[in-house]
Structure 1
Amino acid sequence: MRFSVLASGSTGNAIYVETDEHAFLVDVGLSGKKMEQLFSKIGRDLRKLTGILITHEHSDHIKGLGVIARKYQVPIYANEKTWRALDELVGNIPLDQRFLFNMESIKSFGSLDIESFAVSHDAVDPMFYVFHENGRKLAIITDTGYVSDRMKGFIRGADAFVFETNHDINMLQMGKYPWSIKRRILSDVGHVSNEDAAVAMSEVVEEKPTHIYLSHLSKENNMKELARMTVKQVLASYGIKEGEFLHLHDTDAEEPTLLVTV
């Protein structure tokens, strides 16, 4: 199983996951043109996608969905409530491209099993995904106000995580956002801070080679260096040192990460 975080941040999100037989895109949060450029950068072809998995209906996750779906005739997977929200946002998607992916269920594609799980975010029915293949596990969790014990159960022991580190609390509190937006981000249906994400990480990583991609960073309220430093320090306080078995990686709002094998 191989993957690349094509783009991650408050301006747009998309993650590519493939096996030898299948290829999936999780979210299409950038324009169709930008998605084509990102695929070109990792040497992959949108025409070969098995499907697109949608997490929720916010624009930074579906901006290019309608264009890509219609141009490349890709099957789209989302839960029922999310589909109803998408109908008003992405234009017409033919019925033969629409597939239901129920909350907390598993769909199998050859050797690949994809598992969905609920998160806490202010969307109609947000959910994220865990990919399983041949004993390897990739967990994607962003856009959640907190990481519950139930969520931890789904993602625990992954070999690679795409994990939200949205904001630094001090930067957010001192920043220019109106209080209403700050309150929303800090709420249980907002986004996870660097500190809270690191605490959750300490409870789900296992002592084996593990890679964590710090993702969905706020452009205004976080920095890559700050997110990495905070996560590293919090994990160290729990006795987990970066470089022993755990490795932290940055993601970017414009450039894809290298296509790596899980």
Structure 2
Amino acid sequence: DFYHLNKHYNCLLQMGGSDQWGNITTGTELVRRMNVGNDDKSKAYALTTPLITKADGSKFGKSEGGNVWLDADKTSVYKFYQFWLNATDVDAEKYIKIFTFLDKETIEKLIAEHNEAPHLRALQKRLAEEITVMVHSAADLENAIAASNAFFSPSMDELKKLDEKTFLEVFEGVPQAEISMADLNAGLDMIAALAAKTNFLASNSDARRELKQNSISLNKEKVGEDKIITKEDLINNQFLLLQKGKKNYYVIKVK
């Protein structure tokens, strides 16, 4: 590759992580050997930087799982922001020095602030803010923060403000089911919504038990067996959000 780029595009420098040192220097040697006697064409250089790794020792790169792309079509702004926000304390301290242009004094102050109250995640928040604005924009950052707040908010007010794309990004990975608008127009009871129509719960009896235990929420509000779901309950005229306990979510899309 290096030889081809050197020959056709006059590429003189190949850069990479320190783990690629052997491959890159082999490339420079090939360029020099293939251009013996041509001093101008025989010039080829290598530059490597320390390999960036995560706290668990895995590489920070596209070949590893759970990493991000700069292109919003490959990694949405919301997921991009969440990636940095969820960095470990060790990684956040390293990344903020590598990936931002904050000065040394500011970074040291942030680290000290974080060490005093790690649960507030001041380091991760600033890291996520700086990189999201740099790669995307300040407006995109605001939207990502709004989406994050909407997910953790006890009310539906913020979730209702999200567009369809952002809503689905927030609940990516959450089990989903589709039902028809006709089902809703006929009056959808909670037993059907939890079991027969969605399989969120295994059976009608499971649905009744959970409802009696007051562990089911519809759009973040506790509901009982007598609740009938109508169009008025729809989020953005197409979604219903079911929840069992605090962490088990289920999205119903109405078509």
- Under a length normalisation based on structure 1, what TM-score does the superposition of the two structures give? 0.29
Task: Please tell me whether Structure 1 or Structure 2 has the larger radius of gyration of its CA atoms.
Answer: 2
Higher relative contact order (CA 8 A, sep 6+): 1
> Structure 1 or 2: larger strand share?
1
Q: What TM-score does the superposition give when structure 2 sets the normalisation length?
A: 0.30
Instruction: Give the helix-richer structure, 1 or 2.
Output: 2
